[in-house]
Chain A
Amino acid sequence: MTAIIETQGLVKQYGKFTALKGIDLTVEEGAVFGFVGPNGAGKTTTLRILATLLRPTAGQARIAGHSVEKERRAVRRAIGYMPDFFGVYGDMKVWEYLDFFAACYEIPKDVRATLTKDLLELVELSHRREDYVDALSRGMKQRLCLARALAHDPQVLILDEPASGLDPRARVEIRELLRELHKMGKTILVSSHILSEIQEICTHIGIIEAGELVTSGTLEAIREQIQIHRVLRIHLITRLEDAQTWLAGRPDVHAVAPVTANGKTDLQVDFSGDDEALAGLLAEMMAAGFSVIKFSEETTNLEDLFMRLTKGIVS
């Protein structure tokens, strides 16, 4: 696997405000990289730099081996970019819109007709071919914009919150489309502030917050990170202190502490291990004679990891 997008110490300052504080991002060829972070984390800023629309204050970024600052044309040829908020030329017909951008990508006239047809088929807009762009729904416009970004058959797709403002059905449609593009071998860098929304289609995840890349890696690696520190809540009828000492003596438990909520005291346990180890722990507790009546995990998915990693850092 070779890296197709690479940034080194990417810094962007808006006046005195530092929006990016040295981002080192690597996206491998063929990956679907989910770029996740809360509002104002710097996702759009990073993507705009990669799309050659913004110049970094410091650091470097390369796409398909080309510098986004020095070889902009080559980078533009390699990427299809979809901004978070975008307008469309509403007074054009759907096919004209695609034809126009195909022309902007220097695609010869005789190829454009078939290309437009194929793109419309891909995003399922063939039946709206002769309609004005203004007459399309938001979801359709989003798909049209995606089709536009594919006009020159780019290696890399840079999509800034492609599903924002869409209803659940339209979100699913976009997701399916991305899955299809992944199958076609495209590298996709897609941002979102909702992790659960893109974790299904991503092969890699990067979490950004306040201009810093908190963590990044394959989905499995991130999941493992969760398994290393799983937070459990255990409620017992009696022998709370005994259980605490018993748990603290185990090698897979890093910390135990009683927490009181609504007048009831639970044990909060920092545990490392997969699901089987978790089931084993419960079985052993029962065998040891502890009267467990509640045994639950606090962080069970990426969303919670995301919340934990990013909690409260950004206002």
Chain B
Amino acid sequence: MLDHPLVRLELRRARRKVWWPKGRFSALVVGGLGAAPIVIALMTLAATFGCVVLLIITDTAQADQIASAFLVVVSGIASLGCLFGALRALVEVGVVWIAPAVAAISIARERELGTFDILRTTLLSERSIVLGKWAGTLIWLWPGILLLLVLTPLQVIWVITNNAINPLTLFALGGSQNEIAHNAWLWGGFLLIGIAGMVKPWADIALHTTTGLFVSTLCKSSGAAVAVTYGALIVMRGLLWITFSSIRAALLTIGVLELTAMSIASIIGEAWIACAQVLLEVAGAAILVLATAEMLRRE
């Protein structure tokens, strides 16, 4: 994919038009800043599992002291993580809602300039053009994408390290078999929700950019393409929200989901809903890519 001519074209352009780390020093700075959240995440993980191991191998008399020392360390790091979490949320909103405009312009702009016909007479297949344009869109958003890439893993950290429900911690502290099993289920549910949350921005970006591309092939001017794309997205978002809200409402009424209590069924239910939405968005994006290519072919 990196060798796709359209991707290399956009890379070249983006490098000329938007800021790009040039030289070894700026690359180091960007790399360092990007690595910071990952380092924090790894430190949290190491602290957690290090303590768990410590708890297992030392005798129970000292367990309480070790556990509280560990909590201090982890919560310290976690508050740092919180900062990054807020940053991530900001970046996410930005990328998710700027990306469709960039995508909507891509093909319509080529039409406006009169370059698209030439592109279509080359050996690039319609699907290849759509995928290339899609990747090209992401290239223009590279700072946001990069930030998201390094910040999203933090989201899962708190689940893995959550002391109260972490079955390993409970096992180390000498919890009963039933308690450990119960926590394992809860923990699994939270992990799934965490992973879904981590993938969600990417699913959003995929859905929004492919919507932009689809509209872009329909519109003659890039201005119209951007406007129609946002219109379509607002409708689409509304429909998704209504669908999943009603599913949750229905499950709440029949008592599968609970708002306050942390029953296993409730957490697992929430996890499935989160995953379902992500899967639906990804499937929608894939269908839109195919539909866009098919429309170009039919033209």
Q: Indicate if the CB atoms of A76 and B113 lie closer than 8 Å.
A: no
Segment 110-149 of B: residues with Cβ below 8 Å from A = 110, 112-115, 117-125
Q: Indicate if the CB atoms of A89 and B123 lie closer than 8 Å.
A: no
Considering the complex, give the chain B residue whose CB is closest to the CB of A106. Answer: B123
Q: Indicate if the CB atoms of B9 and A77 lie closer than 8 Å.
A: no
A96 to B118, CA, bound (A): 16
Segment 164-190 of B: residues with Cβ below 8 Å from A = none
Q: Is the CB of A184 closer than 8 A to any CB of chain B?
A: no
Q: Indicate if the CB atoms of A104 and B115 lie closer than 8 Å.
A: no
Q: Indicate if the CB atoms of B123 and A76 lie closer than 8 Å.
A: yes
What residues of B have a CB within 8 angstroms of the CB of A81 in the complex? 117-118, 121
Q: Indicate if the CB atoms of B121 and A85 lie closer than 8 Å.
A: no
Q: Indicate if the CB atoms of A101 and B122 lie closer than 8 Å.
A: yes
Segment 75-113 of A: residues with Cβ below 8 Å from B = 76-77, 79, 81, 83, 85-89, 91-92, 96, 100-101, 103-106
Q: Is the CB of B94 closer than 8 A to any CB of chain A?
A: no
A52 to B110, CA, bound (A): 18
Residue from A85, A96, A106 within 8 A of B12 (CB atoms) = A96
What residues of B have a CB within 8 angstroms of the CB of A103 in the complex? 5, 8
Binary A-proximity of B1-38 (CB < 8 A = 1, otherwise 0): 00001001100110011000000000000000000000
Given contacts A92-B9, A92-B12, A103-B8, contact A87 B115 (CB under 8 A): yes
Given contacts A73-B123, A76-B123, A104-B123, contact A83 B117 (CB under 8 A): yes
Q: Indicate if the CB atoms of B121 and A52 lie closer than 8 Å.
A: yes
Residue from A88, A89, A105 within 8 A of B122 (CB atoms) = A105
A145 to B117, CA, bound (A): 12
What residues of A have a CB within 8 angstroms of the CB of B122 in the complex? 76, 101, 104-105
Given contacts A91-B16, A104-B5, contact A86 B121 (CB under 8 A): no
Q: Is the CB of A62 closer than 8 A to any CB of chain B?
A: no
Q: Within the complex, what minimum Cβ distance (angstroms) separates B8 from chain A?
A: 7
Total A residues in contact with B, Cβ cutoff 8 Å: 27
A86 to B114, CA, bound (A): 5
A91 to B117, CA, bound (A): 18
What residues of A have a CB within 8 angstroms of the CB of B123 in the complex? 73, 76-77, 104-106, 152
Q: Is the CB of A143 closer than 8 A to any CB of chain B?
A: no
What residues of B have a CB within 8 angstroms of the CB of A152 in the complex? 123
Q: Indicate if the CB atoms of A86 and B117 lie closer than 8 Å.
A: yes
Total B residues in contact with A, Cβ cutoff 8 Å: 21
Binary B-proximity of A137-171 (CB < 8 A = 1, otherwise 0): 00000000100100010000000000000000000
What residues of B have a CB within 8 angstroms of the CB of A87 in the complex? 110, 112-115
Q: Indicate if the CB atoms of B16 and A86 lie closer than 8 Å.
A: no
What residues of A have a CB within 8 angstroms of the CB of B121 in the complex? 51-53, 76, 79, 81
A101 to B119, CA, bound (A): 8
Residue from B16, B17, B113, B117 within 8 A of A53 (CB atoms) = B117
A100 to B8, CA, bound (A): 8
Q: Indicate if the CB atoms of A88 and B5 lie closer than 8 Å.
A: no
Q: Indicate if the CB atoms of A88 and B12 lie closer than 8 Å.
A: no
A104 to B117, CA, bound (A): 13
Q: Indicate if the CB atoms of A86 and B115 lie closer than 8 Å.
A: yes
Q: Within the complex, what minimum Cβ distance (angstroms) separates A306 from chain B?
A: 28
**Residue among B113, B117, B121, B124 with max Cβ neighbours from chain A (10 Å):** B121
Q: Within the complex, what minimum Cβ distance (angstroms) separates B140 from chain A?
A: 13
What residues of A have a CB within 8 angstroms of the CB of B113 in the complex? 87
Q: Within the complex, what minimum Cβ distance (angstroms) separates A114 from chain B?
A: 18
Q: Within the complex, what minimum Cβ distance (angstroms) separates A147 from chain B?
A: 12
Q: Indicate if the CB atoms of B118 and A148 lie closer than 8 Å.
A: yes
What residues of B have a CB within 8 angstroms of the CB of A106 in the complex? 123
What residues of B have a CB within 8 angstroms of the CB of A88 in the complex? 115
Considering the complex, give the chain A residue whose CB is closest to the CB of B115. Answer: A87
Residue from A52, A86, A91 within 8 A of B118 (CB atoms) = A86
A48 to B118, CA, bound (A): 11
Considering the complex, give the chain B residue whose CB is closest to the CB of A72. Answer: B297
Q: List 20 A-B contacts (CB under 8 A).
A: A51-B117, A73-B123, A76-B121, A76-B123, A79-B121, A81-B121, A83-B114, A83-B117, A83-B118, A88-B115, A89-B115, A91-B13, A91-B16, A92-B13, A96-B12, A100-B8, A101-B5, A105-B122, A105-B123, A145-B118
